[in-house]
Copies of this chain bind each other. A is one copy, B any other.
Amino acid sequence: MAGLIKPLNNVYEQFRCLPGIGNKSAMRLAYHIIDMSDDEVRRLADTLLQAKREIRFCRECFNLTDSDVCDVCRDGQRDHGIICVVEQPQDAMAMERSRGFAGVYHVLHGCLSPLDGIGPDELRIKELLLRLERGGVKEVILATNSNVEGEATAAYLAQLLRPQGVIVSRIARGLPMGGDLEYADEVTLAKALENRTRISG
């Protein structure tokens, strides 16, 4: 930004490249860095470098981990016969927060997006097939996002996994809990109706 001294402008430019940080936030953060103590800035910088150095992908499921195999894959209590396929590590984390899943994960690291040049080879699909080949898997739950790319990825995987002799399922789409019918979009409502569950009779 014009009029900013060079080292401060460098910080501003770096922050501006981060997601969700606009010009004003970047400027505010840059000035905040100057107000922080030397120790605090050193700790911030070290934390970033350490995370980058220590975090890698789990050899099994490609979720993030700081060891060779992630905590979920190492956990003997969990059902290794059910694999939940998600797009990103964040998605696996959201699943964990819901406490609704006791199986293991497989992180694709993206979704099919031909416009962005992302085809099956750019995702961890080969690795999923290798896990199935090793046997012991009863069900694959496709938990990609419920948007166009996520649905396309789920459809592609469903077809690919059909000959593997495992159950393939898709997470339910419907009205979010606490969601008002009045404000739901048409596609969600149509899905909610289509996937209705019988209560009695």
Contact = CB atoms under 8 A, between A and B. Distances in A.
Interface of A: 2-8, 10-11, 14, 18-21, 25, 27-34, 36, 38, 41-52, 54-55, 64-66, 70-71, 88-90, 93, 96-97
A165 to B, nearest CB: 32
B51 A7 contact: yes
A3 B105 CA distance: 14
A167 B93 CA distance: 63
B44 A48 contact: yes
B6 A66 contact: yes
Taken together, the copies of this chain in the complex come to 2
Contact of A7 (B6, B55, B70, B71): B55
Contacts of A32: 18-19
B52 A38 contact: yes
Contacts of A18: 29, 32
B43 A49 contact: no
16 contacts: A3-B97, A5-B64, A7-B51, A7-B54, A8-B51, A11-B47, A11-B51, A20-B28, A20-B29, A27-B90, A30-B51, A31-B89, A34-B51, A41-B49, A42-B49, A44-B48
